[in-house]
Each structure stands twice: as structure tokens, then as C-alpha cells.
Amino acid sequence: MNEAIERFLQDLLTEGFRKRILDPEHFLSVITPQMIMRGFCEHPKLRSRIVTALTGMNEHIAFLLAPESCADILQIALDVGITTPDAVVQLIDPAQGAHLFEKRDVWSFITESGFWELKGDREYQQRVLDYMAVLLERAIFHDVVTAEEVLGHIGYDVIANHFRKKMAGVVRETVTRGRRGECYTALDFFNQVTFRAFIQIYPINALWRKVIAPRIAFAHGLITELPPQSLRPPPSLKGMR
């Protein structure tokens, strides 16, 4: 499961920077140069390449430096403007970041802004909604959470209420599959409705409270405590299977 979490975080980092939900300067305030170089402590070649590319230092000299010294040099380069947070982020592969950095630190960086509260102009809110669709789809794709868990923890009665206009198509598909002796699953529901449409219809702050915080972040150790609003017991998981 640790590999699944890494792949999930990698996708969130990639898409978050691409959609401008995540900010390079904020990245370095959470994942500091000291933490970066600590993550690369067993990879001196990668460490020296980062320092060389960002500061112009001779790579052979950088290779001989301890992680702490590399961190100090990177911090100085940032302070005096030799390099920038954008340059640092562009140089670090999200796959490396998700693998080498502490998972809780990466999750803290991704979520610290509370983007799911949709504070901002309409253009930013749409980018957040698109990002949430990616987050949910990638979580299910990487088996970090199941489609059944998502719908079950929201509640099937709540789903039916929010997706009244979509339910006719769901019923038709369910009947069609039933005639073929097939089940209509929770994943089929998402594939039919689409993740993007789901996020546009169902409130994402409720999705965060009912699913993302308890079933992803807390369940996989990315946070140590649940926010109070996520402590309520989930609704029955009976329904689609």
C-alpha cells in the first residue's frame, strides 16, 4: 500500500503544480532545503546534481558535501536570488519527492491551503474542482480507496438526492446489466457519471469531510488526527457493490 500512496501523491504533485493549485514558494516553506537534502541523503549523485544545477557549484565538489552542507548552500542560493522556488520544483521529479520525502510532509504541503473550501475567484474555483476530480479518480485508480467506500461513506440516499437527473441513466444501465446477469458496481457509477461531473455536482467540502480526510488521509497515516467534523460514523455501506 505504501507504493500506492507514493503513486497517488506523485500524481497530486504533478497535477497540483500543472493546474497552479500548488505553489513552488509554499512548497519550500513546508518541504525546506534541509528536508529536501535529508530525503536525498542516500543519493549523493542526485544531491550534487541539484546543487550544481541550482547554484553553479562544481559537481565534483558538490558530490563530496554532506546533506546538511548542501541544504545550507541551497538555502543561501534562494536567499540571495541565485535560484528560485520555481527552479527547485522543476528540478525535483514528483516521483522522487513522493518516494524520498516524508509522506505526511508531502500531504501537509498539498493540503495546507485548504483548497477544497473554494476560496477564490471563479477561475481558481474551477481549477480546484478539476484538481479534486483528479484526486478522487487517482485515489480509486491506485486502490488508495475503493469506489464502494466513497459512495458508502457519503451515503447512497445522499447520492440519489444529489444525482436525481443522472439516476434515470443509472437505473437503465442497472436493468440492462441485470438482464445479462451482471452487477452494476460503484465504479460503474463513476464511469457513467464521470469523476468531473461528480465533483461539479457533489459539494467537495463534504467529500473532503466524509471521504478524503477519514478514508484516505487518516486511514493511510497521512494525518494523525481527524478534524472534528469527520469523526461522525459513516452511513451504512449497503447499496451498490
Lowest mean pLDDT among 100-104, 187-191, 226-230: 226-230
> What percentage of the chain has pLDDT greater than the value 70?
93
Closest CA to 88 of 32, 39, 43, 15: 32
User: Could you report the per-residue pLDDT of 54-96, keeping only the tens digit for each?
Assistant: 999 999 999 999 999 999 999 999 999 999 999 999 999 888 8
Task: From residue 53, give the alpha-carbon distance in Å to each of 45, 77, 190.
Answer: 12, 11, 44
User: Which value, to the nearest 10 degrees, does the dihedral of the CA atoms of residues 22, 110, 92, 144 take?
Assistant: -130
Q: Inform me whether the pLDDT recorded for 241 exceeds 60.
A: no
Other beta carbons within 10 Å of 198: 23
Q: Inform me whether the pLDDT recorded for 240 exceeds 60.
A: no
Q: Inform me whether the pLDDT recorded for 26 exceeds 60.
A: yes
